Structures are given as structure tokens and as C-alpha cells.
Amino acid sequence: MRPLYWMRWMSVQGAPRLALKAYARRGDPLAQLFGDPATTHDPYPLLESIRARGRLVGGPFARMTVEHDLCRSILRDNAMGVRAAESFDIPRPLRGLTTLAPLPPNPMEPPSMLVIDPPEHTRMRRSVSAAFTPRAIGRLHARVESVTEELLDALPANGSADLVADFAAQVPIAIISEMLGFPHSAKDRFLGWGDAISPLLDIGIPWPSYRSAVAAIAEMDAYADEHLAKLRRSPGEDILSSLITAGELDDNDLKATASLLMGAGFETTVNLIGNAIVQLLDHPDQLAKLREDPELWPNAVEEVLRFDAPVQNTGRVALREVEYEGIRMPKGTTIVLSLAGANRDPKVFAAPDRFDITRDNAKDHLTFSSGIHACLGASLARMEAVHALRALFDRFPDLQLDGLPQRRPLFTLHGYSHMRANLGRRHAEHTTPV
């Protein structure tokens, strides 16, 4: 099968990769955003250069906007739909090669909620929405607290740790695993699969990354088959057991939903927690405010979501002819929405490049998207981050990074892969966050 998957990669990733690099060398800002690895570390200067070019900028594969109001309008427009990252404007002969090597159910292809429109999206989202209501998330609070405290207890006082691998990733993976009925022993496998699959959200990824993603999808699919079979024999109180009992989704639907919830359940949160640690240590005056007034923690998390968004981009495709900013665009036109750029729109956020945990409209960010595809687990991510961050800085008040943290080489998901830290003394009496 390897030659067929290589052909698939060439059609949906390899050809765009070559084109992006060529346009990036010519100075095209949209191509630079996706074709220049340097922008993964600090995309914001490039986003401002795109803003200077206009409200809706043309590019080789798609149009793009960094404007808050325009992003929000497009996200809420029923004339705009979603599709997989692999389906940008690829020539038809190349696109046909994708049928030669179909992938098992995964977060980036239908029937995943991420890449389907109503009425299919409505049916799929309705089936799992009950697990993410405010009341349901509230019931998880005590478990988030206990998981966080167990992880902090395991970190060595006056020692060092990787705050991504040893902490930021462990809180959300434990919670979403339990919500889906997966055993605790499987969490490391899911973390590995998530790291391997997440590059598929980008355009033009290299062949080794694509090959690793395909292998991870196959392994995850085989594991999901076994797990669903166990839940059918002995259902629990988890989301997947409820979906199996309801009988509204077939196996492909169930596996696509499970893989999406597992990935979304920790990818955004681990990046959020890691980004927050770096920003707070880089801005000690803001961390001091949090120590003086812990009630600011929820707003601090919103400011991190705005200032250094863990999800940087999304896209929409015109389901029929549309017009924005006086530009008429035919059906099939793709628009890339820079959530990170929208979050630093100076027309919405005063001094947008300033990190300010007391910002009164920080929650107006678009990191969790908007409209019918708004992040289902946004409340859970917020709750996990607030508790984990406050508990970490309470427990280790002298925490400092040990060298520069390592950024993930991704364009859509924005976070750190490694973050070595010297923990310092352990606070003898740590408070329990609200």
C-alpha cells in the first residue's frame, strides 16, 4: 500500500507543498504563512503584513482575511461550509488519486464533524452535545482537580520536568479518555497518535509526517474496533457507550467521532496550557497580578487564548456564489480565516500586541471559532486550563523555564512540543483553585 499512499500524499500534500514554497519565495504572504516553517514560531508580524494588504487578500490557493468582523461573519454564514484541509484547490486529476488509498475514519475526513455540513453535521453534533453542556462540564470539576493534584504531587520539588509531557498534556488526556471510556493505560498511545495525526490539519506537510499520520490512523482504527466491541458487550457511563446504546451512528460514525473528540479533547488544551505558562513567565508583572488576585485566572486564560491562540487558522468554502467586501466569488471558493490575526485586530482589541490579563474584552477572541462549528469542548478546555495553571503556579512559585521551549512545527495548531523547567521549591500549603 505504501506506493498508493505516496501517490495520495503527492496529490493532496506534495503538489501544494511545492507550489507554496514557490509562491513563498516570490513573497506571497499567504504562501509564506503555510510554506515557511519560520512562521510557526512567530506568525504575528506576517499576519500584520497581510492585514496591511486589505480586508480580503487573494492568494494562489485561497483568499484570506485577518479581520475580526469578517472572520466572524464568514464563520456564521450558512452560505459557507467546511471541508478537509486536504481538499484545497487541487487539480482534478490529482484529486482523483485520493480514492486509490482511502483512509480509515479519522478527524480530518467525513464523517468527522470537523469537515461536514448540515444536515449531517447537525445529526452528528446533536448525538454528543449532551456530554458538553455546562451542567455536564461542572460535574467534571472535581475529577479535573484530583487529576491535576496527582500530577503535581508526582513532579519533583527542586527538580526539573518537561511541563508539556509531564503536565500540560496529562491533564486533558486523562479527562477525555475517561469521558470516552478508554482505559488509563491507553493514554500514552493516544498522545502519540495525536502528535502524529495533527499535522494533517496543515497544507503541504512533508512525506515522512504524512506517512506517520497514516500509520497512526490505521493503529487508532484497529484499537477503536476492539474498544467499541468491548463497550457493546459491557457498556459504561461514557459518551461512546451512550452513542452505541442510542443506535443512531454506525461504526464509521462512531470511530470518526471518537477520534475527533479524543484529538480535540487534548490538542487545544495542551497547547493552551503550554502557551499560558510561557506568556506568564515572560510577563512576570501579569503573573504577580494573578497571585495578588486569583479571581483573575479565568480572564487570564481568555487573554492567552486571544494573544497566542492554540488554534491559529480555519477555513471555509463557498457552498454557492457569495460576495464579501464587494468581491463576488463563485461556488467552491476557499477562504482561510486567520483566527490569530482576528484576535489581534486593533479595531476590536486596544493595543492588541500587549498581553494584559485584565483586558475587559479578552473573551471576544475567535480561537474557539463561531457559528455551528464552534468548539464543542470550549468550556471544558477553559475549566481544565484555569485549574491546571493556577494549581501549578501555586504549588511551584519559583518555577522557571530551563532554556527555550521547543515549538511544534505546525501552522494550524500552535503550541510547544517540549518545555523543560526548573520547578524550584514546593509550596507547603497550596490552595485549591475555584
Residue spans per domain, the chain: 2-422
The string of pLDDT tens digits covering residues 249-288 is 999 999 999 999 988 888 999 999 999 999 999 999 999 9
Model confidence pLDDT, tens digit, residues 312-329: 999 999 999 999 999 999
pLDDT band at 432 (very low <50, low <70, confident <90, very high): very low
pLDDT digits (tens, 9 = 90+) for 62-94: 899 999 999 999 999 999 999 644 444 555 555
* Collapsed DSSP state (helix, strand, coil) of residue 95: helix
DSSP element (H, E) containing 239: helix 239-246
Indicate if the pLDDT at residue 95 is higher than 70: no
How far apart (Å, rounded) are the C-alpha atoms in residues 220 and 355? 39
Which is more confidently placed, 434 or 18?
Answer: 18
CB atoms within 10 A of CB 294: 17
- State the residue for C-alpha cell 484529538: 263
29: cell is 504572504
Longest dimension (CA), the chain: 65
- Per-residue confidence at 96, pLDDT binned at 50, 70, 90? low
Q: What is the pLDDT of residues 366-405, one digit of tens each?
A: 999 999 999 999 999 999 999 999 999 999 999 999 999 9
pLDDT at 87: 44
- pLDDT confidence of residue 93: 53
Report the distance separating Cα 60 and Cα 30, nearest Å: 8
Q: How far apart are CA 35 and CA 202, in angstroms?
A: 10
Beta strands (DSSP E) in 24-159 are: 63-65, 80-81
**Coil, strand or helix at 345:** coil
Residue 9 has pLDDT above 60, yes or no: yes
In percent, how much of the chain has pLDDT > 90? 77
pLDDT confidence bin for 311, thresholds 50/70/90: very high
CATH, domain 2-422, list 2.60.120.620, 1.10.630.10, 1.10.10.60, 3.20.20.70: 1.10.630.10
d(CA 248, CA 257): 12
pLDDT bin (cut points 50, 70, 90) of residue 434 is very low
For residue range 114-163, what is the model confidence (pLDDT) as tens digits? 999 999 999 999 999 989 999 999 999 999 999 999 999 999 988 999 99
- Tens of pLDDT, residues 129-138: 989 999 999 9
Query: pLDDT, tens digit, for every residue of 196-208?
Result: 999 999 989 999 9
Q: Is the dihedral of CA 376, 379, 385, 388 positive or negative?
A: negative
Output 331 or 37, whichever has higher pLDDT. 331
Q: What distance in Å separates the CA atoms of residue 358 and residue 424, rounded to the nearest whole number?
A: 28
**Helix axes of 170-179 and 187-197: crossing angle, nearest 10 degrees:** 110
DSSP annotation string for 33-67: HHH-GGGGT--HHHHHHHHHH-SSB--SS-EEE--
Sorted by sequence, the CB contacts under 8 Å of residue 248 that are 6+ apart come out as 123, 127
Q: How confident is the model at residue 336 (pLDDT cuts 50, 70, 90)?
A: very high
